[in-house]
Structure 1
Amino acid sequence: MFGEKGEMVDVAQINAELFIASDTHELAAQLRPLCGDVAIKPGLNGQLDLHMASSLVGGPIANQIRTPTGLELRFERPFDGYALVLLHEGGLRTRIGQQEHVWSAGACVVLDATKVSEWQWHAGSYEMLLVGMGDVAQRLSSLLEAPLTRSVMFQAEVSPESEGVRLGRAVMHLMQTCFGPGVPGSAAMATAASIRDVAVGAFLEGLPHNYADRLLVKAPGPSPRHIRSAIEYIHAHARDSISVEDIANVAGVSVRALQVGFATFKSTTPMAYLKRVRLEGVRNELLHSDYVSVADVAMHWGFKHLGMFAKVYREAFGELPSQTRRIRITRR
């Protein structure tokens, strides 16, 4: 990534960048390495004035935006995740499918960035926290100790006093003030994962979404340690060629004890759980990626026999993989 004068700032997954632009071509050139081609329309009187400080720390991105003129953006490659937007001054208009949504100063908005085709920022100031869809899905699966059966959908407008907004604001402040150019790589890497965890937690545990009720349900008791270890291993290595023996070794128990534990606490088998995690991974990629074929995605997630894959995918989701891909196309 590049700073105000083109200086490269890159410490693994920690980047800081300052955009100061008064020309649409200049801004498009700066944004192109990050998100592909960007269509930009200037704001008031055909003028553009944008000041945006952006920090990437371990995956989440914090943006502070100030624009006296406003502008409209259309991204070739939208961010694959969710955006918490705090509107301090001005207003925001977004286009999602065929619908327009308008928010004014004081609002706090949560959006699936993959579905937003247009962002029109009015003259004003804003903050935005972005977290990856994969990070959210992985954390939620871990919290539920189960694969996800549908996409995570957040309530669009939330209270500025909600726990998620307060925590999100604190995370953005930390990212912007402590992780700029010049931060030692070792210190930064030691904390980047923690920043990501807090940012994802702000969304999942502080903002309303369609899995919130399940997170609040008190289970009769947590799964035993060996089951939790097995589940963590499965999610971390779902794309790899792993066996039930591999999972049992990591969990520190026999294959029989692992199978009994999954039957008791998850009502399934370890390998059936792995297959479901893989299917969810395929579906997530098909819904959020334009650049790979269904066959490539299936192979990437360990499904070698495409005919059998299509059958089990349809049994799991009630549609063929090609139909899921068409859903992605119609959303654009």
Structure 2
Amino acid sequence: MTGLPQTELLPAHPVARANDVDEAHEAVTRTYLPHRLEVLDRGTDLDMRLNAVRMGAVTAGYLRYGSAVRLGTVDAGGYHVNIPVTGRCEQRCGASEPVFAGPGRAAVFMPGHPADLRWGAGCAQLCLMIERHELELELERQLGRPLGERPRFTTTMDLDTPAARSWLEVLALLEREADRPGGITHHPAAAAHLQSLVIAGLLLAQPSNYSDHLHAPAAPAPPRALRRAVELIEDEPGLPWTSSTLAREVSISVRALQEGFQRWFGLPPMAYLRDVRLTRVHDELAVADPDGTTIAGVAARWGFLHAGRFSTAYRRKFGGLPSETLHGRHPAKGR
């Protein structure tokens, strides 16, 4: 199981449909990186399909070949994860053992190493590419210190671990929202947060030379750092804060920030931010002109882009609907 739909992904973002080898090669090179493409079965149509979306430092693409092919690269500039959606693919990063990717198993590739992929006929994969610089920055934020060496992941990814399943849920969200008109990937603040979730999720889910450090207890956050984090949230709740950017601003690790908020406020920093934003929405609606104000517009200004989830959170906090606040029909609760 991959946790992803067993159908064509990202259909709203087509890049290429090709039976011509040169056309297929050019499309994948343009989207990902230079490579060699060899068709192993000339008796079957190539029937290559590529859909892809780029979100900051993350490129996610659905790549399928109808015939058996072999792909090779000299090296890669970023980190890559190939997650089979249908079929199987034998994949190797550098001199490591081959990964026989299929249901429940993905392949991970490091920058600076060649790759060799033997793609089975009809195999489709979600191919993820993450810029090296951004992944290493995210790792530094998680650790709260500069890196001593480049991150090295194990090349086989077990998709059935709890951490991997959680990460796949993030990728499924990315895939759904990228295809949804007006989805969160189209809004810079939400897209930045989702990019951080994708990268941090990989760092936490996949074993690497930093796993022991990532899972070790974090040093307690200094109270002054937590106070400053709260000030930043209260003063500028409309900024596209993530746990990573907030931790960087107060010069502590992401884990120290998260554990500090949980210890002192009883909730994670992003939940604290959501609570502040809900209060700002409530305050704005309470004094707004009902004839010239839309709830969706006010909510979007404060970073709430999913109407259903926003309404549920709002009602849980204030005991009524946003429309009731706008029309002055219920008192403030839970402020």
- Report the TM-score, using the length of structure 2 for normalisation: 0.55
- Cα distance change on mapping 1:51 and 1:140 into 2, 3 Å: same
In structure 1, the partner of 2:130 is: 131
Per the TM alignment, residue 57 of structure 1 is displaced from its structure 2 partner at its CA by: 1.5
Matched, 1:155 2:154: yes
Equivalent of residue 25 in structure 2, options 25, 28, 49: 28
Give me the whole-angstrom Cα distance separating, in 1, the residues matched to 2:185 and 2:66: 38
For residues 210-239 of structure 1, the C-alpha deviation after alignment (integer angstroms, 9 at most, x for no partner) is 11111222244124655998xxxxxxxxxx
Which ranges of structure 1 fall in alignment gaps of 5 or more residues?
A: 1-14, 230-249, 252-257, 262-332
Does the CA contact (< 8 Å) of 1:95 and 1:117 recur in 2?
A: yes
Give me the whole-angstrom Cα distance separating, in 2, the residues matched to 1:182 and 1:136: 28
In structure 2, the partner of 1:120 is: 118
- Cα distance change on mapping 1:117 and 1:161 into 2, 3 Å: closer
In structure 2, the partner of 1:200 is: 199
For residues 22-42 of structure 1, the C-alpha deviation after alignment (integer angstroms, 9 at most, x for no partner) is 111112233444456442111
Matched, 1:64 2:62: yes
Give me the whole-angstrom Cα distance separating, in 1, the residues matched to 2:18 and 2:87: 19
Give me the whole-angstrom Cα distance separating, in 2, the residues matched to 1:186 and 1:65: 20
Give me the whole-angstrom Cα distance separating, in 1, the residues matched to 2:163 and 2:190: 20
Per the TM alignment, residue 144 of structure 1 is displaced from its structure 2 partner at its CA by: 1.4
Give me the whole-angstrom Cα distance separating, in 2, the residues matched to 1:140 and 1:71: 35
Number of equivalenced pairs? 220
- Cα distance change on mapping 1:155 and 1:35 into 2, 3 Å: closer
For residues 118-142 of structure 1, the C-alpha deviation after alignment (integer angstroms, 9 at most, x for no partner) is 3332222222322222222111111
More displaced stretch, 123-132 vs 173-182: 173-182
- Report the TM-score, using the length of structure 1 for normalisation: 0.56
Does the CA contact (< 8 Å) of 1:90 and 1:105 recur in 2?
A: yes
Give me the whole-angstrom Cα distance separating, in 1, the residues matched to 2:88 and 2:173: 25
Does the CA contact (< 8 Å) of 2:174 and 2:185 recur in 1?
A: no
SS for the counterpart of 1:166 is helix
- Cα distance change on mapping 1:37 and 1:127 into 2, 3 Å: closer
CA RMSD of aligned residues (A): 3.5
- Cα distance change on mapping 1:183 and 1:77 into 2, 3 Å: farther
Give me the whole-angstrom Cα distance separating, in 1, the residues matched to 2:201 and 2:184: 25
SS for the counterpart of 1:87 is strand
Give me the whole-angstrom Cα distance separating, in 2, the residues matched to 1:105 and 1:35: 21
SS for the counterpart of 2:89 is strand
In structure 1, the partner of 2:212 is: 213
Which ranges of structure 2 fall in alignment gaps of 5 or more residues?
A: 1-11, 229-248, 253-335
Aligned residues with identical type, % of pairs: 19
Per the TM alignment, residue 99 of structure 1 is displaced from its structure 2 partner at its CA by: 5.5
Matched, 1:101 2:80: no
In structure 1, the partner of 2:40 is: 43
Q: Counterpart of 1:171 in structure 2: which amino acid?
A: V
Give me the whole-angstrom Cα distance separating, in 2, the residues matched to 1:200 and 1:185: 17
- Cα distance change on mapping 1:75 and 1:167 into 2, 3 Å: same
SS for the counterpart of 2:67 is coil
Give me the whole-angstrom Cα distance separating, in 1, the residues matched to 2:88 and 2:41: 14
Give me the whole-angstrom Cα distance separating, in 2, the residues matched to 1:52 and 1:99: 27
Does the CA contact (< 8 Å) of 1:58 and 1:196 recur in 2?
A: yes
Q: Please say which structure displays the higher CA radius of gyration.
A: 2
Per the TM alignment, residue 97 of structure 1 is displaced from its structure 2 partner at its CA by: 3.6
